[in-house]
Amino acid sequence: MKQDIFLFTLLSMLGLPATALAQTAPPNGPTARFSRAEVEVGQPLDYELSYVHDPAEEVVFPDSLAAFGPFEYAGRRALPTRTEAGRSLDRVIYHLRTFSLAPTQSLQLPVLVLRGPADTLRRLPSVAQVRLRRLSAVGIGAAGGLPALRPGISWQPLAPAFNYPFWLAGLAGGLALVGAAWALYGRRWRQRYGGYKRRKNHVYFLAQFARHTERFALSRSAPIVERAVVLWKNYLSSLEGADLNLSSLTTRELVAHFRDAPAVDRALRTTDRIVYGNLLSEDPQEIQQVEAAFQLLRDFAEAQFEQAVGS
């Protein structure tokens, strides 16, 4: 039977010539009926089409491309052919549903009997009808109209929901503005921040260096001179921002690094004589030389700071 259904569709699509030998159901023609007498809108409904025929006949039942209006096709189930006493029974159950509001709805699907390569016998069953069931009563309201509806709802407060799309869009816009501002003014901001850090470090260096100078004036101690020189070297290293550690350089290397600066040469030679030669005495002239060396180191640091800030 499935092959017959496919053949019916193929003949319809190709438009092969066929001779309609009958348009009405003979006494032994196909029969059709609905599974129920009444149906609701959208409710599933079965339409059964059956045909008793000679086993030698080739019978074709409609498939999903047939005209099912006003019903909608939802599927079908073909039952196996039964042959008894020289007669064959073929049945197909079509699953339908309707959304039409017509009070009475009918359907009539044909069965094709193939007679040779060119002739087709079209047999029609009797028209099957089904009634539409109404679920609401009409004419019981005022003046014969629809019944009045009573409101049975009340306002319920809803908790405010977090607007994720709005805030995500705002965050993306804010990040875009920050990125654009950084691209335009980022270099200037970095320069200002670098200048602020240099000024802050310079003030801290001057305070610490002045404290070492005061301690030396009170104690006349060589370790204080050494700590003051180390502080000076570390500050110049941070001021230049280079990977070179000036604390590891000797006096000669430092003088060469600063392009043979006379102030650096004279100050470091004085401090080296005190730190490494242990030649510190209570001679006021020698004390004045150390204090003068401190002043030279401070002035040189001041000049290096002004040069770094100006660049």
Pairing of strands 128-132, 38-39: parallel
Indicate if 126 and 224 belong to the same structural domain.
no
Q: Say if residue 24's pLDDT is above 70.
A: no
Residue 174 — very low, low, confident or very high, per pLDDT cuts 50/70/90? Answer: very high
Q: What is the pLDDT of residues 250-259, one digit of tens each?
A: 888 888 888 8
Indicate if 119 and 6 belong to the same structural domain.
yes
Q: What pLDDT does 8 receive? A: 41
Indicate if 198 and 303 belong to the same structural domain.
yes
Q: Which of 91, 111, 131 is the last residue of a domain?
A: 131
Q: What is the pLDDT of residues 49-95, one digit of tens each?
A: 999 999 999 999 999 999 999 999 999 999 999 999 999 999 999 99
What residues are paired with 62 via a beta bridge? none
User: Domain count of the chain?
Assistant: 2
Q: What pLDDT does 118 receive? A: 78
Residue 231 — very low, low, confident or very high, per pLDDT cuts 50/70/90? Answer: very high
Q: Which of 84, 102, 131 is the last residue of a domain?
A: 131
- With respect to residue 126, please indicate whether it lies within any of the assigned structural domains: yes
Please tell me which residue, 188 or 11, carries the higher pLDDT value: 188
Q: At what angle are helices 222-240 and 262-275 packed, to 10 degrees? A: 140
Burial tier of 246 (Cβ tally within 10 Å: 0-12, 13-18, 19+): buried
Range of the domain at 112: 2-131
Range list of H helices, the chain: 2-14, 164-219, 222-240, 251-257, 262-275, 284-310
- With respect to residue 163, please indicate whether it lies within any of the assigned structural domains: no
Q: What is the CATH number of the domain that holds 107?
A: 2.60.40
- With respect to residue 266, please indicate whether it lies within any of the assigned structural domains: yes
Cβ-proximal residues to 290 (8 Å cutoff; 6+ apart), any chain: 216, 225, 270, 271, 274, 280
- With respect to residue 301, please indicate whether it lies within any of the assigned structural domains: yes
CA–centroid distance for 1 within its chain: 52
Q: Which of 131, 153, 176 is the last residue of a domain?
A: 131
Percent of the chain with pLDDT over 90: 45
Percent of the chain with pLDDT over 70: 84
